[in-house]
């Protein structure tokens, strides 16, 4: 009898999802909806029906993301305000990028992306100092990483606007060449890492994940100097499609999370061999981050592959042509499908899973970059 009387106070019903939201959450969502409606009202004449639908869908999607991960509530408004400030300074002319101080040295697309690159490298250094010295430098690494994300995102937004200043027929979303997608890769990988850093309350992994981002930055800078890659070029006919706006970002969420999983796998292997064992998170935490990263990446990569097939049918008349890029995308998909199958069916854990994730990075890197360097095909517009 006493147990039954106590039960109501012991087993309290959890409040519903929406009841857990506070006034700031709803204000954030309303601000996103207002911004989307403003953009639709002002730029509707420049958008087709697909772009309008994507724009309207972004508000609830990013609202839900901000409710789940609170830093998005300040990141999106800050990127938006800085981007609008930069756009206003252009006053309709690209020449302003070399004439106005804040554009020339901070907020033009090339300046912002150079700052992003420098901040990612500094972030890597501070994460490693924090890991090796057990001091509080990892906190500085995290702040520098956030700053890099902000400036990189602003750079991408401003580059989008700059493409339209060159000409309405040139304007396009900045995900069309290796220069732009390397920036996208760095931003996506950093954001996913920062999420896991907060989720697991650990900064020790930053030293490893930032290495792959710094490698991407190093390639980006080399590519910029040796190929004048920062110049905005008109889209080739195959890329003049709305499919690009959703296929490429989905693809690079996959690439970014696969890279993150590989670097976490590297940390797992070091700890399992007693290297930095007292400074890295528990093996169970590393295993869980690796698994969740690959799961998210596989889901988005699957969607991207399907979208790519639909795009190919529209552009080239067939869903699949065994083009080198398509073939290697399939190899990447099969690799991670096998990893997840072994994890779920056979309980794959430990060093084998970590080595597999690390080898998967090599496969993914070749699909991402090696195909463009050594093979030719329908995707030759991405060649180095």
Residue 214 and residue 284 in one domain? no
Shared-domain flag, residues 103 and 42? no
**pTM: predicted TM-score of the whole model, two decimal places:** 0.91
pLDDT score of 127: 95
Confidence at residue 339, expressed as pLDDT on a 0 to 100 scale: 97
Tens digit of each residue's pLDDT (9 = 90 or more) over 271-308? 999 999 999 999 999 999 999 999 999 999 999 999 99
Residue at which a domain ends, from 68, 91, 111:
68
Other CB atoms within 10 Å distance of the CB of residue 204: 21
Question: Looking at residue 15, what is its pLDDT?
Answer: 62
Identify the domain containing residue 109 by its residue range.
71-196+203-235
Query: 170 and 187 in one domain?
Result: yes
Domain identity same for 83 and 231: yes
Q: Are 280 and 271 in contact (CB under 8 A)?
A: yes
Q: Are residues 322 and 223 in the same domain?
A: no
**Is residue 240 assigned to a domain?**
no
Answer yes or no: is 241 within a domain.
Answer: no
Structurally, the chain folds into a number of domains equal to: 3
158 and 78 share one domain: yes
Q: Please report the sign of the dihedral spanned by the C-alpha atoms of residue 266, residue 268, residue 269, residue 275.
A: positive
In a domain, 141, yes or no: yes
Same domain, 358 and 256: yes
All residue ranges of the chain with pLDDT < 50 are: 1-11
**pLDDT tens for residues 195-234?**
999 999 889 999 999 999 999 999 999 999 888 888 888 8
Q: Which of 47, 68, 89 is the last residue of a domain?
A: 68
Residue 154 · residue 107 · CB < 8 Å: yes
44 and 76 both lie in a single domain: no
| Dihedral, CA of residue 139, residue 355, residue 295 and residue 349, to nearest 10 | -100
215 and 254 belong to one structural domain: no
- Residues 36 and 94 reside in one and the same domain: no
The pLDDT assigned to 44 comes to 83
Residue 244 belongs to some domain of the structure: no
């Amino acid at each position: 009898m006493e147990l039954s009387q106590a039960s109501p106070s012991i087993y309290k019903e959890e409040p519903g999802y929406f009841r857990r939201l506070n006034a700031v959450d709803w204000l954030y969502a309303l601000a996103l909806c207002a911004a989307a409606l403003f953009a639709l009202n002002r730029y509707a004449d420049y958008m087709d029906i697909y772009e309008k639908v994507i724009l309207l869908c972004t508000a609830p999607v990013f609202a839900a993301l901000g409710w789940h991960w609170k830093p998005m509530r300040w990141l999106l408004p800050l990127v938006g305000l800085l981007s609008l400030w930069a756009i206003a300074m252009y006053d309709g002319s690209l020449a302003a990028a070399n004439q106005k101080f804040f554009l020339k040295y901070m907020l033009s697309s090339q300046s912002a992306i150079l700052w992003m690159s420098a901040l990612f490298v500094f972030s890597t250094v501070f994460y490693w100092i924090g890991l090796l010295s057990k001091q509080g430098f990892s906190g500085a690494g995290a702040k520098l990483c956030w700053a890099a994300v902000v400036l990189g995102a602003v750079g991408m937004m401003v580059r989008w606007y700059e493409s339209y200043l060159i000409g309405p027929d040139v304007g396009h979303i900045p995900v069309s060449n290796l220069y732009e997608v390397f920036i996208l890769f760095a931003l996506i990988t950093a954001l996913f890492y920062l999420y896991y850093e907060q989720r697991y309350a650990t900064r020790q992994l930053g030293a490893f994940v930032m290495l792959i981002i710094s490698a991407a930055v190093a390639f980006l800078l080399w590519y910029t100097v040796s190929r004048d890659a920062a110049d905005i070029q008109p889209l080739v006919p195959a890329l003049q499609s709305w499919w690009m706006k959703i296929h490429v970002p989905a693809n690079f969420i996959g690439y970014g999370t696969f890279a993150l999983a590989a670097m976490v796998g590297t940390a797992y292997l070091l700890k399992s061999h007693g290297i930095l064992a007292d400074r890295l998170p528990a093996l169970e935490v590393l295993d869980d981050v690796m698994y969740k990263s690959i799961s998210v990446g596989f889901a988005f990569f699957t969607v991207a592959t399907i979208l790519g097939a639909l795009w190919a049918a529209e552009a080239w008349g067939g869903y699949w042509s065994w083009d080198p890029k398509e073939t290697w995308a399939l190899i990447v998909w099969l690799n991670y499908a096998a990893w997840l199958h072994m994890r779920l069916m056979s309980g794959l854990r430990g060093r084998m899973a970590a080595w597999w994730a690390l080898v998967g990075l090599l496969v993914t890197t070749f699909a991402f970059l090696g195909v463009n360097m050594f093979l030719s095909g329908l995707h030759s517009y991405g060649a180095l």
